[in-house]
Structure 1
Amino acid sequence: MDQKIKQDFCIGANLRALRIKAGLTQEQVAIKMQLFGLNMSRDFYAHIENGTYNIRASELVAFRAVFQCDYADFFVGMD
């Protein structure tokens, strides 16, 4: 069973900021996630940025690699 992280705070805005900083489109992020073995489309990624999908821990690990960031970057502004 896959574990999901319930978003009581939406990290979508931080993901969007990291994506833009990396110079990637939503489509490019989805493709990079597929290279990590995760089934993701652009539309699916858009749901994550909008906060309408609770991400899996494995997706968070892959996002860290795609955006070359620290885990703390996902939670900026959520003190």
Structure 2
Amino acid sequence: MKTFAHLIFTCFVSFFAFCGALSMKDNPWPGFAVAFGIWGIFLWRYNVRTKREAQRRQMEEFIFREYMRSRTHGNRNF
């Protein structure tokens, strides 16, 4: 849901930046820079969030495996 909100925000900002760039007669490049820059920031942050989430999932899986290993070793002595 957070990624969707960031995507909508990115779309709005880039849309208005492109509209502003197209309406400029002398120098439209600042508008284009903002529009493409906001997409670059979105993709960069998406990549960071994806890596962080994968790392968290891997750590949770490791903790669960260690917990299950400790539970099975403790129940061997009947």
TM-score by length of 1: 0.25
Radius of gyration: which is bigger? 2
Relative contact order higher in (CA < 8 Å, ≥ 6 apart): 1
> Which structure has more helix as a fraction of its residues?
2
